Amino acid sequence: MTSDFTWNIRVYYEDTDAGGVVFYANYLKFFERARTEWLRAAGIEQQLLTVSHHVMFVVKSTAVDYHAPAKLDDELKLSVVVERLGRASVQFIQEAWRVEGEDLRLLASGRIKVGCVDTSTFRPSPIPDEVLDRIKNTG
């Protein structure tokens, strides 16, 4: 549906655990940041969405597989791909790769489903048409 979106980040001390590797739950934070930047690149501002349409995206489910550790100061490339676009939800495939010169090493892969909800009731709400169009035309 849409082409890959990538966003690079650096691993900071705060991202690591006592063993000096990225704490497993932080990959969800990295994936969240990449999705936020993907939305921004599509011209969708989440705060404006809440004000103008009274809807917001919330995470419904996650499943992450871990393949190799990231460590302090590693450069990571995060990818975002829309796997399925529904009327009130978007399912993503996301990956975190360590940049090793010209090579990439897969560290974590996940499937994240977000739902669009009404800001006052937190009940499912259709994704606004203009947002759906931007998602469909991203890439």
Q: Any idea which residues carry the catalytic annotation?
A: 17
Cβ neighbours for 77, distance < 8 A, ≥ 6 positions apart: 6, 7, 8, 96, 97, 98, 99, 104
Structure tokens at 52: 């103008």
Amino acid at 47: Q
CA distance linking residue 31 with residue 77, whole number of Å: 10
CA distance linking residue 70 with residue 68, whole number of Å: 7
Residue 12 in contact with residue 74, Cβ under 8 Å? no
